[in-house]
Chain A
Amino acid sequence: MAVQRQIRVGKTWLSPKEAEKALREAMRAQEAEERAHGPHQSFWRHYVFSTDHKMIGLQYGLTALSFLLFGFLLMLLMRWQLGWPMRALPGAVAGLLGETAAPSGIIAPEFYNSLGAMHGTIMVFLAIVPLAVGAFGNYFVPLQIGAPDMAFPKLNMASYWAYFVGGVIMLASFAAPGGAANSGWTSYPPLSVIAEHGQTFWLLGMIFLITSSLLGSVNFIVTIVQLRAKGLTFMRFPFFVWTQLVTSFLLLLAFPALQAAAIFQLMDRVAGTSFFMPSGLVVSGEVQAYAGAGNPLLWQHLFWFLAHPEVYVLILPALGIIGEVIANNTRKPLWGYRSLVFAVVFIGFMSFVVWAHHMFLTGMATSISAFFQTTTMIISIPSVIILTALFLSLWGGSIRFNTPMLFALAFLPMFGIGGLTGLPLGLAAADIHLHDTYYVIGHFHYVVAPGTIFALFAGIYYWFPKITGRQMNEKWGKVHFWLSLVFINGVFFPMFIQGLAGISRRLWDGGMQYAHANPAFQTNRFMSISAFCLLAAQIPFIINLFTSIKWGKKVGSNPWEATTLEWAAAPSPPLGHGNFHEIPVVHRGPYEYSAPGSEAGFLPQHAPDPGPSPRELEPEPAAQPA
C-alpha cells in the first residue's frame, strides 16, 4: 500500500505539492510586504548612487556591455579599412568621423592607430574586466557565499564611479586635439611620450581605472574571506568564487605596477622628466629637449608586470562561469574540484613571473628570455589541468543543451585553440618569427573573444532568471549562439594563416606591400565580412536581452535546479538590501548533483543533512498519522 507523504504546515497536513505552494505564497507575501514597507529610497539613491551590490553589478554590467559594443564598432572601422583598403566609408559614418579622422571618407593612418589603441584599451579595461569582475563578481559573489552585501558598500559605489569617470575620460580623448591615444594599448615609449594630447587623457583615464580596480579588489577579498556564510569553508566555495578570489589578488597586486608606470609617463609628458626617454632622441630631424638617460624598457617591464596577470584576470572569471554552467547542466559534480582550485591558485602565483615573454625581441638578455620561457611553459600546465578537468566533467553526464551550456561547450575548444597557439609564442625561438604578426592577434583573441566573451554570454543567459525572475528566449539564444560561433571563427582563424605567412599586425593598408604574403592577404576581405556578420549576429542578443526583462518566460526561484546558494537559498528576483530571508548555513560542497539520497536529483548547499527533497523546502516530511 503506497503511503501518501504529507507535510505539516502550521496546524494542517498537506501533500508535498500543496505544502510547497503554501510556502511559496507565504514567501511571496513576505517579499511583497518588504518591498512595500522597506526603507524608501529616492531614485538617485536607488539607481544611481546605489550601495547595493546588485544594483552596482547591474550598473557595471550595462556600462561594460555598452563599451563592449563600442569597442567592437571601433574594430569594424579597422576591418573596413583592412578589407577594402582606401575605399571611402559610407557617407554617414564618414560624416560622423569628420575630415581629420577620415579625409574624404578614407580612414587616416593616424586615426587607424587611434582605433587600434582604443579598441584594445576599451575592450580590456572598460569592457571585459568590468563585466567579468565588476558585474558578475559584484552581483553573484555575495549571493553565492550567503552574504547580505559586499563588506564595504560605499567603497563599492566609489569603485563603480571611478570606473565611470575613467571611461568618460577615455571617450573624451577622441575629441582631444590630435585625437585619442594612438601608441597602441601598450603605450610604449618613447613614441607615447612624444605623442599628442590623447595620450595624457589615456594616462589620466588609466589612473582612475586602476583606482577603481584597487577599491573593488580589496572589497572582493574582504567579502569572500569575512562574509561567507556559516559552514562555507574554502573548499566548499563554488568554483566561480575561487576564480573571483584569485582574480582579485591579481588586480590588487599587479595593477600598482602600471599605476607607477602611468605616473612616470605622466611626469615625462607633463613635467618633462626622462624616465623613459633615452639620450639623444631625434624625431623628424629634431633633437628632443629631454635630459635623457631614461630607459624605454623600464616601461615595458612595468606595463607587462600588470598586463600579463591581466590576461589571467580576463580568463579566470570566465573559467569560473564555465565551471558553474557545466556542473549545472551535466547534473554532475565538477570533475577534480580540488585540482581545479589548486590549478587556479597556482596560475595566480605563476602569472607574476612570466611577464617578460612579451619582450623576447626587445634586446633583453637571452638568459632572461630563457628564464621567462621556462616559467611560461610551466604556467601552461595548470591551464591544461583546468581545461582537461572541465572536459572530463562532461563524461557520462546527461547534458542539458540549453543556451548557456552551448556557449560553455563552445568555450572549451575555443579556449583550447587560444591556449595551445600561445605555446609557440612563449618559446623565444619560435617567437622571433611570430612576434608582432597577426598570429599574435589570433592567439589572444581566441582566448578573449570566443573564450572569455562566450563565457560571459553563458553567464548572462545562465543568471538572467536570477536577476529578473524571467528567462531569456531560448530559440533566439540559440540563433545568437550558432551565428556567433560561425562568424567569430571566420574573423579570427585566418589570422593564424596570415601570421604564419609573416604579415605584420600593425599595417594600415592590411599588408598590400607584402608580395610574398599575397595569398594570405586575400583572406582580409573574408574576415571583414565575417566581422560585419558577427555584428549582425549580436542583434538577436540585444533585442532578446531587453525584451526578456519584460516579456520573458516567468520562472521560479531556481529554474536550473542548481545547488549553489544564489539559486537555492535566495528568491529570484532577489530581495533588496540583505539578499536572504535568513542567512543560510552551508552543509556541503557546491555541486551535489545526482547525489545519493536526493530525490530531486540535487542537494542544495544549505539543505540540512540528511536531506529531504529540496523541493519540499523547510518542513520535515513526516508520515501521516494513522
Chain B
Amino acid sequence: MEMEIPYTVHERPDTGLYNGKLGIWLFLASEVMLFGSLFSALVMLRTGAASWPHGYEILNIPLATLNTFVLIASSVTVVLAWASLRLGDFAKGKLYLIATLGCGGIFMIIKAIEYGTKFSHGQFPRTNNFFATYYTLTGLHGLHVVGGMLVFAWLIWPGAKMWLHERQRYINRVETTGLYWHFVDLVWIFLFPTLYLL
C-alpha cells in the first residue's frame, strides 16, 4: 500500500509548519553554527595576532557597499516573488525570481572583480591570516550565493511546471528558498563590517 507522507504541502495543525519549512529552519540553525564557528575563528585569530591590518585600508569599500545593496535588493525581490505567487500572479512572480537571480549574479561578478584585483596585487590566501580569513569566509559565503542561484534557476525554468499541477508546493519551495536567501544575505551583513570596516 502506497501511503502519502503527511504535511509535505500543508501545515500540521499543532505545529503550524509544513515539513519543508521546519526542515529549512533546522538547516539554517546548522548554518548559523557553521558561520558562527568561522566568525569565532576570525575573532580568535585577530585577537591573538601581533598585528592585524584594518580592512578599510586594504579592501575595496565602495564595491562592497554596492554589493550590500544588491544583496538587500535581492532579499526584497524574493519576498515580492513569493507574495505575487501567493496572489496567483505567476508572470509577475517569475519576473521577481529572475530579478533575484540577476542580483545574485551581479553580486558574484563584483566579488570576482574584487578577487581579481587582489590576485593581481599578489594578495593570496597564503599571504597572511587577514587574507586567509577574508578569502575563506567570503569564499564560503560566495558558494552559498551560487547554491541559492542554482535553486532559483531551477525554480524559474525546469521547476516552473510545478505551478500547473502542484501550485501550493511550488509556492512553498519559493518560500523556503527565500528563507535561505535571507540567511545568506544576513551572513553578508555580518561579513561586511567585520572584514571591510573594522
Interface of A with B (CB < 8 Å)?
34, 38-39, 147-149, 151-153, 214, 217-219, 221-222, 225-227, 252-257, 259-261, 263-264, 267, 271-275, 290-291, 293-295, 298, 301-302, 305, 575, 577-581, 583
- Given A226-B19, A575-B1: A253 in contact with B30 (beta carbons within 8 A): yes
B136 close to A (CB within 8 Å) = yes
Tell me the bound Cα distance from A293 to B140 in angstroms: 22
Interchain CB contact under 8 A, A295 and B45:
yes
Partner of B41, one of A227, A252, A256, A302: A302
Interchain CB contact under 8 A, B19 and A293:
no
- Given A252-B29, A252-B30: A291 in contact with B129 (beta carbons within 8 A): yes
Interchain CB contact under 8 A, B5 and A151:
yes
Partner of A298, one of B2, B3, B45, B140: B45
- B119 to A: closest C-beta gap in Å: 13
- Given A260-B37, A272-B125, A302-B41: A252 in contact with B1 (beta carbons within 8 A): no
For A227, list chain B residues within 8 Å (CB): 5-7, 19
Partner of B23, one of A151, A575, A581: A151
For B19, list chain A residues within 8 Å (CB): 151-152, 222, 226-227
* Residue in chain B with minimal CB distance to A252: B30
Residue interface bits B124-145, CB-to-A below 8 A is 1, else 0: 1111110011011000100000
B38 close to A (CB within 8 Å) = yes
Partner of A273, one of B8, B23, B36, B136: B136
14 A–B contacts, CB within 8 A, in A order: A39-B2, A149-B3, A226-B6, A256-B33, A256-B34, A259-B37, A267-B132, A275-B133, A294-B45, A294-B129, A295-B45, A298-B41, A575-B1, A581-B1
- B8 to A: closest C-beta gap in Å: 8
- Given A226-B19, A291-B127: A578 in contact with B37 (beta carbons within 8 A): no
Tell me the bound Cα distance from A301 to B135 in angstroms: 22
8 tightest A-B CB contacts, nearest first? A578-B3, A272-B126, A260-B37, A256-B34, A273-B132, A256-B33, A148-B3, A257-B37
Chain B interface, number of residues (Cβ within 8 angstroms)? 41
- A385 to B: closest C-beta gap in Å: 27
For A255, list chain B residues within 8 Å (CB): 30
For B29, list chain A residues within 8 Å (CB): 252-253
For B4, list chain A residues within 8 Å (CB): 148
Interchain CB contact under 8 A, B129 and A226:
no
- Beyond the given pairs A151-B7, A293-B129, 8 more chain A to chain B contacts, judged by CB atoms under 8 angstroms and listed by A's residue number, are A221-B22, A227-B19, A256-B33, A260-B41, A263-B140, A271-B132, A275-B133, A291-B132
Interchain CB contact under 8 A, A579 and B45:
no
Interchain CB contact under 8 A, A302 and B30:
no
Tell me the bound Cα distance from A290 to B30 in angstroms: 32
Of the listed residues A153, A252, A275, the one surrounded by the most CB atoms of chain B closer than 10 A to its CB is A275
Partner of B37, one of A34, A261, A291, A580: A261
Interchain CB contact under 8 A, A226 and B7:
yes
For A290, list chain B residues within 8 Å (CB): 126
For B30, list chain A residues within 8 Å (CB): 214, 217-218, 252-253, 255-256
- Given A260-B37, A273-B125: A267 in contact with B45 (beta carbons within 8 A): no
For B156, list chain A residues within 8 Å (CB): none
Interchain CB contact under 8 A, A148 and B50:
no
